[in-house]
Structure 1
Amino acid sequence: MKKPVFKKVFKFTLIAGLFSGILFTVAAPTAGNKTRIVRLAENKLDERLAMYTTLKLDSLGLSKEAFAYALAGMEKLGREGKLSNPDVLTIADFSLPSSKKRLFVIDLSKGEVLFNTLVSHGRNSGTALATNFSNAPESFKSSLGFYVTGQTYRGEHGYSLRLEGEEAGINDNAMSRGIVMHSANYVSEQIAKLQGYIGRSLGCPAIPEKVHRQIIEVIKNGTCLFLYSPDKAYMANSKMLLPTDTTVV
């Protein structure tokens, strides 16, 4: 009975609290029945959250949830020293169908949307909409969650970008699975118009050929990539979205 209530309250607190510009807190029980307060937003984060409105990200289709979660997770990665470039944030919003431009590359320091384009999901994750996700080898499914971009290389799909999954049990097999960002001719608006959805990958977030090099050059070497979906299993198991031993009040 408590589990769904937890999810509902947390979701409301995250979206309503952050987007009203008010710091929200998470209280966790400690010894002696005292509570410690975990602040999940600071002034800089509040300023970045305001970009959802100033950049008109809603009109581009990016969900508030995806943006809020992405900023909170990115801040955590930054505190852990995992980001070489904390000003560039990339979000693939898999709550949108693949016919929509659901990849967003945002320069947070300049307050600019650098790219908004198509991105594929894995062939076994769904057809037009990604609804099934996996960290397993040979699953040919997308893995949700937070990644740190790595180095570039030239491989089977040409100029490509390595991705390091940061969530244990959720996407940490990305390297061994060969999950990278690369270009694909099946990621195109023409194909989307023809059949209602773009082609699918073996699990990689593939992007259009005409912009892949520009995007990879901007996001390579230590930026945050967040693959989002309002997937119940991900929300319940990700440790990037909420500190582990906490209860929402």
Structure 2
Amino acid sequence: MGNVQNKRNMVKGKRFATRVLPFFAPLFFATLTAPSKTVEARGNVATHINVEAEAKLHALKVSNFQMNLLEIYEEAGLEKQGMAFEVFDKAMIGYLNLRNAGLLSDKQLLSVVDFDKPSTEKRFWLIDLKNREVLENTYVSHGKNSGGTKAKNFSNTDDSNMSSLGFYVTGETYIGRHGLSLKLDGMDEKFNSNARLRDIVMHGADYVSEDFINQNGWLGRSEGCPALPMGLHQEVINQVQDRTVLFLHASGHEYDSRFLNQKMAMEAFYNNENII
């Protein structure tokens, strides 16, 4: 794996260099050939060039960062399995910031739920970022008061019976009324920080199945928990337990998170070669 990682780092560097040089060469030569002016005028020109250069450098870093995420997205086959790149992009930014903050274990796993999709579609993904593959793609429930076939309403309030958006870090397992279950810690104040208080956990449920969909035309709903198909839930829980990321996404709900800071995620990505 060391050789594979070194090759990936070399690819990152080459991509970045090939994007930077075409932009900075004209600036460099323009500076050398600029006509003589007053000291103040030359200072203004230099300041303008520096600002322009910094802006282009930032744009190039963002572009290179996005290209690397797109590479992971494509290698994992996520588009073929129904995940939008915009969702993966947000999930990865959160993952990088959470890991850089020391909140995650060494497991390079990312779980994502896209509530933009109806419950009759497979909208849960478990991704192995190290090997760039999808380990599971299956059905997942939303809260009974979040909506019918599609989740439209979300809450962080106890007894709301709604799902809560945002980033979670997985905790410890326990045996409850649904069998093996997994505690979740909500990382986003105002959006999911009451997960422990509300007993929002990952568990299995008989109402999360294709049979239930075929019989009723919709997937069964929970009290706000991301419930998975019974039986499969054990395998997923055993893999993701103990400080991995779960991201519950839905667009158009004014959701925001301090972990969606792209600049910080980029710094973590460039400065820590082992982060992915």
- TM-score category (smaller protein): 0.7 to 0.9
Among candidates 155, 159, 181, match of residue 202 of structure 2: 181
- Equivalent position amino acid for 1:241 in 2: L
Correspondences of 1:56-135 after superposition (within 5 Å): 56-135=77-156
Secondary structure of the equivalent of 1:59?
A: coil
SS in 2 for 1:126: coil
Which blocks of at least 5 consecutive residues in structure 2 are unaligned?
Answer: 1-14, 20-50, 264-276
Residue type matched to 1:100 in 2?
E
Greater Rg by CA: 2
Question: How far apart, CA to CA, are the structure 2 residues paired with 1:55 and 1:135?
Answer: 32
Please name the residue that 1:238 is paired with: 257
CA distance in 2, matches of 1:88, 1:99: 25
Do the aligned partners of 1:49 and 1:71 also contact (CA within 8 Å) in 2?
no
Q: 1:59 Cα shift?
A: 2.0
Identity of aligned residues (%): 42
8 Å contact from structure 2 (residues 185, 195) kept in 1: yes
Q: Residue 55 of structure 1 aligns to which amino acid in structure 2?
A: A
TM-score normalised by structure 1 residue count: 0.78
Do structure 1's residue 142 and structure 2's residue 142 form an aligned pair? no
1:142-186 deviations in Å (ceiling 9; x for gaps): 000000000101112110000000001110000010000000000
Relative to total residues, which structure has the larger strand share, 1 or 2?
1
Q: Secondary structure at the match of 2:80?
A: helix
Contact 1:78 1:86 in 2 (8 A): no
CA distance in 1, matches of 2:100, 2:70: 18
| RMSD, aligned CA | 2.6
Q: CA deviation at 1:83?
A: 0.4
- d(CA) in 1 for partners of 2:70 and 2:262? 20
Provide, for residues 105-124 of structure 1, a one-character-per-residue CA deviation record: whole Å limited to 9, x for no partner: 00010111100110000000
Give the Cα–Cα distance (whole angstroms) in 2 for the partners of residues 38 and 179 of structure 1: 40
Contact 2:75 2:133 in 1 (8 A): no
Tell me, in whole angstroms, the C-alpha distance in 1 between the residues paired with 2:90 and 2:199: 25
Q: 2:261 is matched by which residue type in structure 1?
A: L
Distance 2:152 2:143 in 1: 10
Within 2, Cα distance between the matches of 1:243 and 1:208?
34
Conserved? CA contact 1:179–1:204, under 8 Å: yes
Equivalent in the alignment of 1:214: 235
Matches of 1:63 and 1:40, distance apart in 2 = 22
Q: Distance in 2 between matches of 1:39 and 1:242?
A: 17
Structure 1 counterpart of 2:108, which letter?
Answer: D
Which runs of 5 or more structure 1 residues have no equivalent in the other structure? 1-20, 24-33, 245-249
Count how many residue pairs are aligned between Structure 1 and Structure 2.
212
Contact 1:74 1:224 in 2 (8 A): yes
Assess if the C-alpha contact under 8 Å between 1:45 and 1:71 holds in 2. Answer: no
Residue 196 and residue 87 in structure 1: after superposition, are their counterparts in 2 closer, same or farther (change >3 A)? Answer: same
Distance 1:215 1:232, change over 3 A: same
CA distance in 1, matches of 2:124, 2:170: 15
Given that residues 112 and 124 in structure 2 are in contact (C-alpha distance below 8 angstroms), is that contact kept between their aligned partners in structure 1? yes
* TM-score of the two chains, using structure 2 as the length reference: 0.71
Q: What corresponds to 1:223 in structure 2?
A: 244
Give me the whole-angstrom Cα distance separating, in 2, the residues matched to 1:61 and 1:195.
Answer: 23
| Counterpart AA for 1:134 | S
Pairing 1:165–2:186 present: yes
State how far apart, in whole Å, the 2-side matches of 1:178 and 1:123 are: 15
Q: Hey, which of these two has a bigger chunk of helix by percent?
A: 2
